[in-house]
Each structure stands twice: as structure tokens, then as C-alpha cells.
């Protein structure tokens, strides 16, 4: 598995979920450590997503050509 495949399959979705979790953590008032680090989580996810999307996705495989 190449870096492009790992990036497209794992890093981009994980960074998106980290951003979403950071926003949810920032908006909830019950757990104070989550609220404290919500902005940090959002920024880490945003930076990871920005870096990960700089790599081109892997070329599409043509399964019909034989």
C-alpha cells in the first residue's frame, strides 16, 4: 500500500473526524477538558487535512482491462 493510498483511505477521513470532534468538544459545556482542548483538536484536524489533501489521490484502477 503506497502513501497515496494510505493518505486517501485513512489520513483524510481521520483528520475530518478530528475536526468534527473538536467542534463538538468546543460546543459542549459538560466536560471541561474537552471544552478546553476543543479548539486545539479542531486546529490539529485542519492542519492534518490541509497537508493530506496536497497529495494527489491514487490513480483509478481499471479492472475491465485485461
pLDDT at residue 50, rounded to an integer: 95
Residue 43 lies in a domain: yes
Asked whether residue 10 is domain-assigned, the answer is yes
Is 19 among the domain residues?
yes
Backbone angles phi, psi at 55, to 5 degrees: -80, 135
- Domain membership of residue 60 (yes or no) is no
Confidence (pLDDT) at 17: 97
Please give the residue range of the domain that contains residue 23: 3-52
How much is the pLDDT for 66?
56
Report yes or no on 64 lying in a domain: no
What is the total count of domains within the chain? Answer: 1
Query: What was the pLDDT predicted at 65?
Result: 60
Distances (CA, A) of 50 to 11, 31, 53, 54, 64: 11, 28, 6, 7, 34
Residues (pLDDT < 70) of the chain are 64-66
pLDDT of residue 6: 85
pTM metric for this prediction: 0.81
Amino acid at each position: 500500500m503506497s502513501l497515496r493510498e494510505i493518505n486517501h483511505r485513512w489520513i483524510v477521513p481521520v483528520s475530518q473526524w478530528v475536526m468534527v470532534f473538536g467542534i463538538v468538544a468546543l460546543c459542549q459545556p459538560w466536560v471541561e477538558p474537552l471544552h478546553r482542548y476543543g479548539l486545539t483538536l479542531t486546529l490539529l484536524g485542519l492542519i492534518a487535512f490541509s497537508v493530506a489533501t496536497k497529495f494527489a489521490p491514487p490513480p483509478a484502477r481499471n479492472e475491465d482491462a485485461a
